[in-house]
Amino acid sequence: MPKMQMKKEIELDEIETEKLRAELKRVQENRKLLLAIKEITMLMCFVMAISLILSTLCFPLVKVQTDSMEPTYEIGDILLCIRTKRIEEDDVIIFYSGNKCQISRVIGLPGSDISIDAKGNIYSDSNKTSYGNKETILADQEYPLFIKEKEYFVLNDRRNMLNDSRSKQFGLVKEDDIFALVLFKIWPLK
């Protein structure tokens, strides 16, 4: 074989080798990119699954459906809540009443006496509270009302609505009916 032809073949082999190296490098980089995308996708799925579990079991989001808590919470507000049985006075809770979820403020704890006078003043254990106002309607509940263990007296912030503990039909809220405690409003941001 002449030297010239051999030299050309060596040059062609070198060119093809360089092309093969470049192609191999490109394939390896693509493989790394695909692996990174796969890992990120798996991580996102894991985070979404944990978020779903937490939001369902521990920190549910609740959309306000009634105007009973205006002006504190309005229809359409989205609230972050926490599933707990540790309820204190002035907490806003989400609870079941019949087949519906309700939202109200706790003003009477187990073991206390609640009274409302004709002027709309509210008393807890004979001490006047800040919850009463001239819009507070008496309804048909008999006072003083003793609150038993595992029951709560709730009141709407919008006092002219009677779907709270002032009504005998509605009554006290049982601890087992409490779904969650409202932590704060997350939407709309104001």
Cα separation, 121 vs 79, in Å, equals 29
pLDDT band at 65 (very low <50, low <70, confident <90, very high): very high
Cα separation, 141 vs 79, in Å, equals 30
For residues 131 and 107, is the Cβ–Cβ distance under 8 A?
Answer: yes
Domain that holds residue 8: 1-57
Which among 104, 101, 125, 103 is positioned nearest to 115, based on CA atoms? Answer: 125
For residues 184 and 157, is the Cβ–Cβ distance under 8 A?
Answer: no
pLDDT at 170 over 80: yes
* pTM metric for this prediction: 0.76
For residues 81 and 62, is the Cβ–Cβ distance under 8 A?
Answer: yes
Both 14 and 66 in one domain: the answer is no
Domain boundary residue among 38, 57, 76? 57
pLDDT band at 5 (very low <50, low <70, confident <90, very high): low
Question: In terms of residues, how long is the chain?
Answer: 190
What CATH number is associated with residue 74?
Answer: 2.10.109.10
Tens-digit pLDDT profile for residues 22-56:
888 888 999 999 999 999 999 999 999 988 888 77
Domain boundary residue among 34, 57, 80? 57
pLDDT band at 11 (very low <50, low <70, confident <90, very high): low
Both 106 and 83 in one domain: the answer is yes
Which among 121, 115, 118 is positioned nearest to 165, based on CA atoms? Answer: 115
Both 29 and 95 in one domain: the answer is no
Both 79 and 4 in one domain: the answer is no
| Tokens describing residue 180 | 């969650």
In the chain, the number of structural domains is: 2
Both 70 and 1 in one domain: the answer is no
**Cis link prior to 60 (omega < 30° from 0)?**
no
Both 96 and 183 in one domain: the answer is yes
Tens-digit pLDDT profile for residues 104-144:
999 999 999 999 988 888 999 989 988 877 777 777 888 99
